[in-house]
């Protein structure tokens, strides 16, 4: 069991700053995959784009047959339930203090 992820030509930028271009990969169901890289190289942006928290500039991300870039909000909500995400420190409440 697992989730099949197919990414085709995914591209994301913020203004003139390109984060990544034309990323294509397949993650077969049931396999563990790791994304490594130094801080600021787009790992979190990629994962947020992959689960529909950020909209890519171009490309497709198909999860178990559902393209999360073009699907309805209700289908996106159902597809997000397939993932567990733990954001890095402060990502949820970065503007708040104790």
Question: Model-level pTM?
Answer: 0.78
> Using one digit for the tens of pLDDT, what is the confidence trace for 1-20?
788 999 999 999 999 999 98
User: How many secondary structure helices (H) and strands (E) does the chain include?
Assistant: 2, 4
Domain 5-80 is of which CATH architecture? 3-Layer(aba) Sandwich (3.40)
Report pLDDT digits (tens) over 43-73. 889 988 988 889 999 999 999 999 999 999 9
Residue with tokens 């077969």: 28
């Amino acid at each position: 069991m697992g989730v099949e992820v197919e990414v085709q030509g995914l591209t994301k930028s913020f203004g003139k700053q390109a984060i990544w271009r034309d990323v294509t990969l397949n993650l077969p169901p049931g396999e563990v995959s790791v994304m490594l890289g130094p801080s600021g190289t787009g790992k979190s942006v990629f994962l947020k784009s992959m689960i529909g928290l950020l909209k890519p500039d171009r490309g497709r991300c198909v999860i178990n047959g559902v393209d999360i870039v073009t699907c309805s909000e209700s289908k996106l909500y159902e597809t997000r339930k397939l993932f567990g995400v733990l954001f890095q420190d402060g990502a949820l409440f970065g503007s708040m203090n104790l």
